[in-house]
Chain A
Amino acid sequence: MASFTGRSVISMRDFTRDEILHVLDVTAEMDTHPLKYADALKGKIMAACFFEPSTRTRLSFESAMLRLGGTVMGFADPGGTSAKKGESLVDSIKIVESYSDLIVMRHPVAGSSRIAAEIAHIPILNGGDGANQHPSQTFLDLYTIQKEKGTIEGLKVGFMGDLKYGRTVHSLAHALGKFNGELYFVSPKGLEMPTDALEELVRDGVRFREYANFEDAKGNLDILYVTRIQRERFGTELDYDKVREGYNISKKFLEGCNPELRILHPLPRVDELSSEVDSTPHAVYFRQAANGIPTRMALIALVMGVVE
């Protein structure tokens, strides 16, 4: 396995099966013994460059860096920065890299993190590049599954909601495919998994099925990954309301499910996941959000050479 030191984290496509497992091992170590690493990055600075706002991703990366003993600086949206004045991304990265030891960035343009990583001499962590990748989210999803089920190998995983635009779904499905997962896709008409993503799963030999509703699929799932269905994806309010009714996870909806089913959601949620589910043993989405910290600590620690 290639060393992680100095490496950038841009896309799940860059990681082999063994490398993914290694990141999960280091995440478990950060989760179990966080204090052991409390001074690991003392004197190091992380630049958080958010060319597009994302409070959750930014705060959890910043928290992770602070917990490793480092300091953070940056901006939460591009207003007032040189980018707003028309500076190229390439120039912005060249400047910021001279101020810091690693950069976490979010940018609305797909591929911007890859460009940044090619230019910069310090590690770049992709906190989301347009509709493309958000690898730290995928790692924290995988870690959550591993922590809840003891493994990420050979699980039956359902994906439900907006599967067309949900980049977290595409990345996670692709990653689980490397671990012999059996995938079930349930989505409203028009929001199905894109053909490209399905064809990629076929090429990789991943087993999957598509369903129009959850009733046929829910009996033997180990994991259900729910994503938000956005109102603006529908032509009329009526269309949205019609779809919403069929895509709401409630206590009643969960009758007949595997008692060991665990439900994940990248959050924020709206109507697709009722708050009455929160108190059931199925709900792990808040723990999932909390797992963002050890996951991001692990990614930072790995690329900064704190751990091998």
Chain B
Amino acid sequence: MTEKKKHTRTISQIERGTVIDHLNPNVVFQIVRILDIDDDTEEQVTVGTNLFSKHMGRKGIIKIGNRFLDQDTINKIAIISPNATVSNIDNYEVVQKFNVEIPEEVVSVITCPNPNCVTNSEGVATRFRLVERDPILMLCTYCERYIRENEIEIT
């Protein structure tokens, strides 16, 4: 068996649902939380982390049966793992595959780290404008504070 085949067989296929691949292995369980997967989940779920990746060295992967992601969830994944790919699967075939992309405006996804920001006292939706993609730099629309990758906290 070749080296490649050994690795691709680590995770089983799903018949229908979503595969989120090329995840930063440090945030896999954060994404599990974003996906709201817990012990009550009835669908087939596979979570892999620190898997071999030719391009990334190590990567994470999550497969969820019978579920497709909404744009909000995709945006959240993009912010904490910008190189992730999402594949929609039907009948064991990839019917759609795309790279996640941080939108120009990120709404209701991140908490503003500025304790004096109005979004932390008035309970209104946060809004950030993307200034730079790599490394991520965003500007809070309200308090106008810049936030960096290491300050990002998903709501």
- Which of B14-22, B91-99, B119-127 contacts its partner? B119-127
Q: With A111-B140, A130-B143 in contact, is A88–B118 under 8 Å at CB?
A: no
CA distance A20 to B90 in the complex (A): 55
Q: Looking at B121, B131, B141, B143, which has the most chain A CB atoms within 10 Å of its CB? A: B143
| Chain A residues within an 8 Å CB radius of B114 | 110
* Chain A CB within 8 A of B52 CB: no
Instruction: Determine if B118 and A114 form an interchain contact, defined as CB atoms under 8 angstroms apart.
Output: yes
Shortest beta-carbon distance from B153 to chain A in Å = 17
| Chain A residues within an 8 Å CB radius of B142 | 110-111, 114-115
Shortest beta-carbon distance from B150 to chain A in Å = 14
| Chain B residues within an 8 Å CB radius of A130 | 116, 143
Closest to B131 in A: A203
Determine which of B117, B124, B131 lies in contact with A110 in the assembled complex, contact meaning CB atoms within 8 Å.
Answer: B117
Number of interface residues of B (CB under 8 A): 16
CA distance A110 to B124 in the complex (A): 13
| Chain B residues within an 8 Å CB radius of A115 | 118, 122, 124, 142
Shortest beta-carbon distance from B126 to chain A in Å = 10
Shortest beta-carbon distance from B52 to chain A in Å = 37
| Chain A residues within an 8 Å CB radius of B145 | 110, 196
* Chain A CB within 8 A of B146 CB: yes
CA distance A90 to B140 in the complex (A): 19
| Chain B residues within an 8 Å CB radius of A203 | 131
Determine which of A13, A109, A131, A199 lies in contact with B121 in the assembled complex, contact meaning CB atoms within 8 Å.
Answer: A109
Q: Looking at A108, A111, A131, A132, which has the most chain B CB atoms within 10 Å of its CB? A: A111
Closest to A107 in B: B118
Shortest beta-carbon distance from A27 to chain B in Å = 24
B interface majority secondary structure: loop
Instruction: Determine if B118 and A13 form an interchain contact, defined as CB atoms under 8 angstroms apart.
Output: no
Instruction: Determine if A196 and B146 form an interchain contact, defined as CB atoms under 8 angstroms apart.
Output: yes
| Chain B residues within an 8 Å CB radius of A112 | 118, 122
CA distance A129 to B145 in the complex (A): 13
Identify which of residues 128-176 in chain A touch chain B, using a CB-to-CB cut-off of 8 Å.
129-133
Q: With A89-B118, A89-B122, A90-B122 in contact, is A110–B143 under 8 Å at CB?
A: yes
Determine which of A11, A88, A90, A108 lies in contact with B144 in the assembled complex, contact meaning CB atoms within 8 Å.
Answer: A11
| Chain A residues within an 8 Å CB radius of B121 | 109
Identify which of residues 1-22 in chain A touch chain B, using a CB-to-CB cut-off of 8 Å.
11, 13
Chain A 98-123, CB within 8 Å of chain B: the 1/0 string?
00000000001111101100000000
Instruction: Determine if B118 and A111 form an interchain contact, defined as CB atoms under 8 angstroms apart.
Output: yes
Q: With A130-B116, A131-B116 in contact, is A110–B144 under 8 Å at CB?
A: yes
CA distance A108 to B121 in the complex (A): 11
| Chain B residues within an 8 Å CB radius of A90 | 122, 124
Shortest beta-carbon distance from A176 to chain B in Å = 18
| Chain B residues within an 8 Å CB radius of A13 | 144
| Chain A residues within an 8 Å CB radius of B144 | 11, 13, 110-111, 132-133
Shortest beta-carbon distance from A109 to chain B in Å = 5
Shortest beta-carbon distance from B155 to chain A in Å = 16
CA distance A131 to B114 in the complex (A): 11
Q: Looking at B114, B116, B131, B140, which has the most chain A CB atoms within 10 Å of its CB? A: B116
| Chain B residues within an 8 Å CB radius of A109 | 116-118, 121-122
Closest to B112 in A: A111
Closest to A89 in B: B122
Closest to B114 in A: A110
CA distance A11 to B122 in the complex (A): 19
5 extra A-B contacts, CB within 8 A, seeds A109-B118, A131-B116: A109-B122, A110-B145, A111-B119, A111-B144, A196-B146
Sorted from nearest, which 3 A-B pairs have the closest CB atoms? A111-B142, A110-B143, A111-B118
